[in-house]
Amino acid sequence: MNRPVKSVPNNPFGSTDVGEFYARGRPYHHPRSLARVRALVRAVDVERALDVACGTGMSTIALADHAATVVGLDASVEMLRAAARPRGVEYALASAERLPFPDGVFDAVTCCSGIHWFDQARFFAELGRVLRPNGWVGLYDHYFIGMDDVPAFRAWAKELFERYPLPPRNAQVGDPRSETPAGFEHVASEAFDDPIEMTREEFVDYQMSVSHIVAAAERGTPRAELRAWLIESLAPVFDGVETRTVRFLGSVTCLRSSDRREE
């Protein structure tokens, strides 16, 4: 009997039904981030691209606008179960450190908000193997920052992280912008503000998809209880307003595979 492949290190996004909450709660920022990646690498559309840590496929579908064929890869069967499957998009269940593809088959690789779960040395070695010479890599993240000038939010955030701390990431992870991996050339990095207007319900949906809440559910707290606490505790934050501006920081790092490979 085949067992689901779990992410390395222990990753809460493999828990049961997590894909449903992720697909409903995550903002679709990927086209904006990919536009910056393409501008930095001066990319034209490619034949075949890979999206690592694709989750429920939002990043994969965005990448499909720039490639004839896209493969989305994730180590969580629960995330892939919730992924949409338009024409030109395929999915694979595997870890980022063991890519199940032949050498030199991709023109481009993207990874959104996943690299902090990987063994980076093994991940980049695999990227170098499956990429064609001069293929490009777009690593991008979308960090939740908070809400400006909302005192009630600061009090709420303090209580949130005391109740539901973030699960540990990979201790080996470094900033991919600080050191260029072997076999790659650094093209460019940039950060940008990406504010998004959210209602209280939309913000609760987003929080239900974030790792500290997902991990709390995996530890046994019922999701209905988690959602009820979020709805109630956020009432002061949204008091008197329909929406709040939620601040996100976009971060993009672009690499290119060296055209020379060590023999």
Average pLDDT for the chain: 88
Tally Cβ neighbours within 10 Å of residue 46: 18
- Which residues lie below 8 Å from residue 125, measured CB to CB, with a gap of 6+? 183
Average pLDDT of the segment spanning 86-91: 92
Q: Residue 221 corresponds to which tokens in the numbers above?
A: 């707290």
- Three-state DSSP state, 29: coil
Are the beta carbons of 119 and 170 closer than 8 angstroms?
yes
Quick check: is 82 in a domain?
Answer: yes
For the cut 80, the answer to whether the pLDDT of residue 219 exceeds it is: yes
Residue with tokens 């828990």: 15
Q: How many domains does the chain have?
A: 1
What the block records as the tokens of 41 is 């690498």
Choose among 90, 85, 86, 96: nearest CA to 7: 96
The residue-averaged pLDDT of 251-262 equals 80
pLDDT band at 214, cuts 50/70/90?
A: confident
Euclidean distance between the first and final Cα of the chain, in Å? 40
Q: Are 119 and 97 in contact (CB under 8 A)?
A: yes
Q: Quick one: pLDDT at residue 179? A: 75
Which residue has 């994730």 as its token pair? 74
Confidence of residue 1 (pLDDT cuts 50, 70, 90): very low
pLDDT per residue as tens digits for the range 124-149: 999 999 999 999 999 999 999 999 98
Considering the domain boundaries, does residue 118 fall inside one?
A: yes
Query: DSSP state, 260?
Result: -
The domain of 90 spans 12-146+169-195+248-257
Q: pLDDT of 190-208, one tens digit each?
A: 999 999 999 999 999 999 9
Is pLDDT at 15 greater than 80 in this prediction? no
Tell me how many helices (H) and strands (E) the chain has: 9, 8
- Whether residue 215 is contained in a domain is answered as no
The b/e string for 142-154 (b: 16+ C-beta within 10 A; e otherwise) is bebeebeebeebe
Q: Does residue 129 lie within any of the structural domains? A: yes
Residues linked to residue 248 through DSSP beta bridges, in sequence order: 144
pLDDT of residue 116: 82
7 in a domain, yes or no? no
- Decide which of 211 and 36 is more confident: 36
Do residues 161 and 212 lie in contact, with contact meaning Cβ atoms separated by under 8 Å?
A: yes
pLDDT at 13 over 70: no
Place of tokens 């030199």: 104
This prediction has a pTM of 0.85
pLDDT of 5 higher than 80: no
The answer to whether position 83 is within a domain reads yes
User: What are phi and psi for residue 160, nearest 5 degrees?
Assistant: -55, -50
Strands (E) in the chain, as ranges, are 46-52, 67-74, 89-93, 106-112, 131-146, 184-193, 196-199, 243-257
Mean pLDDT of 222-246: 97
- Torsion region of 240: left, alpha or beta (phi above 0 gives left; psi -120 to 50 gives alpha): left
Whichever domain contains 61, its CATH number is 3.40.50.150
pLDDT value at position 138? 96
One-character DSSP codes across 158-181: HHHHHHSPPPP--TT---TTTSPP
Give the pLDDT band (50/70/90) at residue 88.
confident
Residue 182 within any structural domain of the chain? yes
Q: Is 63 helix (H, G, I), strand (E, B) or coil?
A: helix
**Rounded CA separation 176/169 (Å):** 15
pLDDT surpassing 90 at residue 172: no
Task: Say whether pLDDT at 241 is over 80.
Answer: yes
> 175 lies in a domain?
yes
Q: Flag whether pLDDT at 117 surpasses 90.
A: no
Average pLDDT over residues 147-163: 94
